Structure 1
């Protein structure tokens, strides 16, 4: 390595030195053996600066991307030796470690399974040394493989899709059970000494669950681990996200119903969902739990829909009952003081409304809808310290109600009750309550297709009663501008 030509990587280098370094990079990149020079220098630790390390790794990466697939046998074995040396682990910066994992992942998709069928056996042997850095690199390699092979956001060619299918099929046949066992051992071994490794391992599990056998993860051994982590502050966010990945696994409706209900019972038994409240200062954890419950609710609704199409009269009521049992958690997290937590629950609310659409509502359904509508009204209020010069709140939740809710009488009765309650005690009612009551009345006019207010001759109809309530109140003289805007505009 021409060390003098690396001076351009320094922050205080001159433009001439930077030009020489760039030229040297291009020279190494275009050379057949340039990657060997850089790999040897990187492994020697003669220069541990991040810029130099990335310089070396980028040359190695260029070789893997552009020439490795058609390399000679000697060159293939040479690179493999370098990669396995990395897997033995040594202290590296996070960004350097991620780049190393990316390079190993790129080599993997070229080599596996034809040229390197023992890839995972070789890697797991290195991980068995118990070195923290080796374990972390192993997990990051798995995430890099997921990005190359599974990530649905990445556009693949037909050839790449065929390659990815072969890789996944071979992994299922040869090594997935061993990988899963290694994940369990890592999660348990490092949960106290290096919890960041346990968190990273749960991220791996959440990524791979989409295409491996669900029974390898959705079993007592794994689920009990994840449930216990929900009580550990440094682990609980990752545990909740991992459980959500398990819930989102594509499955037939009846096994999915059993999976969700089994998990729900364990969560309820551990009192995880019921004890966490707005007073819990960890908003990120509440957000993860909200997303988890939303995933459970949406999974149940999807299962119910499939069972309805199959006319499965035995399991339809079971799935519907399971949905109704999750509604208290829907109300709880939808009504959270943090808008992010609340927003994470919206998909479940919308899907729940969709199953009631066009159906005859039972008394229980009507009660559930009223409770849900009250939550939406509450979330629709301005904050006491709202900046009225800024853009108004997002109206997504109510607009979803307006689109999906077809029971006009229920909507009007609820709004009438809210309006009467808030306007009858103007002197002691907060402006946010008065404003939202008036705004709900306005939106009700758009929500209800049966617009009989102007022509209805029935005295005492909800529309008449709401208008009389407004007229008889002193709301037109309210001191707050937000209220007056609703009255006169």
Structure 2
């Protein structure tokens, strides 16, 4: 171990055992060495021959900084040396198995990732000129096996992360270089890279499925800007779907294949060409797999694929002018929607946002159609089912929500925010399919308030919450007259004493709902005794929870202002 290696190791020490003064000195020493002439040669030699990961990492990071910050001032011979050295290590070129260089590719992941970043930094400044063969030189070495294939994927992933992907903010210069690199790759090496991906996946999907999955995950990143014909063809698509459909393949590999298909589905294309691609996928082949794998990572990936597929079909239906082609898109959408609803009802909260975006777009599309067909009305009913399922509280928080304690308050706040978009969607559905929505709410309410003793708090609370939200889609005149099924739902709500009525959240939403529909009571005074009972007994002002009692008092004062003279016959009842 020489002085530089010793200094680097000390500078990386986080144990606290190194004297701060010494650490400061070695840090300054390392910085001076970093700025010296010929440092790239020193660093590349240590990457090859030093066995300490800290030293290898420091040296690679130093080379990256030199390339990024002052490579133009480095003489041409050293620049060529750096390119050749980095490429040789990455490709295991001229390195025997077990040699110092080969050990780099068998070393820690963070060393290989840093090597990939150095490679990409060189690409930024040197590709396609003077380093025109950066990627083509890599391809013949893939036959050396898993280590080089893994390194090639890391390089491509780093290229996407550091330069190409639009998921990160880019400077104008980075955008310019990114476009330049992509154009050069399209002309020079993309077809060869795609062919290499295919060959590697076919070769390793049985013997090294994790490597094949890594290759597919890399490919997925590139689908959005390479020629779609390179992968949406009679060679690649059958391989991807065979990987997805065969039970013998590991879930990770199958999920990676599904991710590639999703990237193809999501690629920007003209609507007619996109519809042709979507039809060619025969996506119905995976409908049953969603049910079989709903608890696994594969099930989540398949659900995302179906959602992406449905989103693109819907988008095509908006942009296609030919009636025949439009009808075809509607058929594809009708085919996939039942599976979409199944996925949404069981999906995690993290995926709800994208699901809601699709459902909102679908409902918006329905607004432009009149009259709605029976199947479309059925789909809207299924959307209501999804909404009801999503607004339910988790039973694990039932007691905390009733108290409420700190956990309960946090969960209530979270759900209040989470429900906002769901209720917006609910109101959108109710405006274009009022009869369907009212029937759905009445059935939900009936099951909650008139159902068996086994009904759960979460069902009661969600049913009354939907009834409350329904009021926002009904005008004042409709509320007063009891439009549609409202004249049946209000008596049902007012006369019921159902399970979990004592629960704080049920009591609150129950009183809020009565208050929202007080206009109905104003016109149907026979229900005033039921309203008074609800507010004046243990469901309202006499509720054991002080927060419910206070809210009941406030809402009751508002109701009194609306009903006024209608309450005169009940003064004694109120004052008791």
Q: Is TM-score (shorter-chain normalized) higher than 0.5?
A: yes
The question of whether the paired residues in 2 share the 8 Å contact of 1:423 and 1:473 is answered with yes
Secondary structure of the equivalent of 2:323?
coil
Cα distance change, pair 74–383 in 1 and its aligned pair in 2 (3 A): same
Following superposition, the deviation at residue 70 of structure 1 comes to: 4.4
Q: More helix by proportion, 1 or 2?
A: 2
**Aligned match of 1:374:** 385
**What are the Cα deviations for residues 115-137 of structure 1, in whole angstroms up to 9, with x where unaligned?**
0112222111333322x221111
Cα distance change, pair 484–160 in 1 and its aligned pair in 2 (3 A): closer
Which stretch of structure 1 is more off in the superposition, 331-340 or 431-440?
A: 331-340
2:35 corresponds to 1:30: yes
Cα distance change, pair 291–451 in 1 and its aligned pair in 2 (3 A): farther
Q: State the distance in 1 between where 2:383 and 2:109 align.
A: 45
The question of whether the paired residues in 2 share the 8 Å contact of 1:209 and 1:249 is answered with yes
Cα distance change, pair 32–133 in 1 and its aligned pair in 2 (3 A): same
Q: State the distance in 1 between where 2:363 and 2:70 align.
A: 55
The question of whether the paired residues in 1 share the 8 Å contact of 2:284 and 2:336 is answered with no
**Aligned match of 2:375:** 364
Greater length-normalized contact order (CA 8 Å, ≥ 6 residues apart): 1
**Aligned match of 1:319:** 329
**Aligned match of 1:245:** 263
2:408 corresponds to 1:391: no
Matches within 5 A, 1:57-68: 57-68=60-71
2:291 corresponds to 1:293: no
Which stretch of structure 1 is more off in the superposition, 250-259 or 410-419?
A: 410-419
Following superposition, the deviation at residue 253 of structure 1 comes to: 0.4
Cα distance change, pair 70–128 in 1 and its aligned pair in 2 (3 A): farther
Q: State the distance in 2 between where 1:376 and 1:154 align.
A: 33
Following superposition, the deviation at residue 244 of structure 1 comes to: 1.1
**What are the Cα deviations for residues 181-224 of structure 1, in whole angstroms up to 9, with x where unaligned?**
11112212222333232122112211111111101011232222
Following superposition, the deviation at residue 344 of structure 1 comes to: 4.8
Matches within 5 A, 1:140-179: 140-179=154-193
Q: Normalised by the size of structure 1, how large is the TM-score?
A: 0.90
Secondary structure of the equivalent of 2:431?
coil
**Aligned match of 1:19:** 24
Q: State the distance in 2 between where 1:121 and 1:111 align.
A: 14
Cα distance change, pair 17–482 in 1 and its aligned pair in 2 (3 A): same
Secondary structure of the equivalent of 1:100?
helix
**What are the Cα deviations for residues 435-470 of structure 1, in whole angstroms up to 9, with x where unaligned?**
211111101112x143334431x6x74222110111
The question of whether the paired residues in 2 share the 8 Å contact of 1:276 and 1:286 is answered with yes
Q: How many residues align?
A: 475
2:427 to 402, 411, 427: 402
Cα distance change, pair 156–480 in 1 and its aligned pair in 2 (3 A): closer
Q: State the distance in 1 between where 2:208 and 2:500 align.
A: 62
The question of whether the paired residues in 1 share the 8 Å contact of 2:87 and 2:119 is answered with no
Q: State the distance in 2 between where 1:242 and 1:476 align.
A: 49
Q: Normalised by the size of structure 2, how large is the TM-score?
A: 0.77
**What are the Cα deviations for residues 234-264 of structure 1, in whole angstroms up to 9, with x where unaligned?**
312222222111111111101111212222x
Following superposition, the deviation at residue 477 of structure 1 comes to: 7.8
Secondary structure of the equivalent of 1:241?
helix
Secondary structure of the equivalent of 2:346?
coil
The question of whether the paired residues in 1 share the 8 Å contact of 2:435 and 2:484 is answered with no
Following superposition, the deviation at residue 384 of structure 1 comes to: 2.6
**Aligned match of 2:140:** 125
Larger Rg: 2
**Aligned match of 1:86:** 89
Following superposition, the deviation at residue 404 of structure 1 comes to: 5.8
Q: State the distance in 2 between where 1:412 and 1:288 align.
A: 35
Q: List, as ranges, runs of 4+ consecutive aligned residues in structure 1 with deviation greater than 6 Å.
A: none
Which stretch of structure 1 is more off in the superposition, 30-39 or 292-301?
A: 30-39
Q: State the distance in 1 between where 2:264 and 2:127 align.
A: 27
Which stretch of structure 1 is more off in the superposition, 218-227 or 59-68?
A: 218-227
Gaps of 5+ in 2: 93-101, 402-407, 513-576
The question of whether the paired residues in 2 share the 8 Å contact of 1:438 and 1:487 is answered with yes
The question of whether the paired residues in 2 share the 8 Å contact of 1:294 and 1:347 is answered with no
**Aligned match of 1:74:** 77
**Aligned match of 1:475:** 498
Which stretch of structure 1 is more off in the superposition, 422-431 or 201-210?
A: 422-431
The question of whether the paired residues in 1 share the 8 Å contact of 2:341 and 2:382 is answered with yes
The question of whether the paired residues in 1 share the 8 Å contact of 2:387 and 2:422 is answered with yes
Q: State the distance in 1 between where 2:175 and 2:130 align.
A: 19
**Aligned match of 1:413:** 439
Secondary structure of the equivalent of 1:385?
helix
The question of whether the paired residues in 1 share the 8 Å contact of 2:306 and 2:340 is answered with yes
Q: State the distance in 1 between where 2:293 and 2:455 align.
A: 24
**Aligned match of 1:452:** 477
Q: State the distance in 2 between where 1:193 and 1:24 align.
A: 48
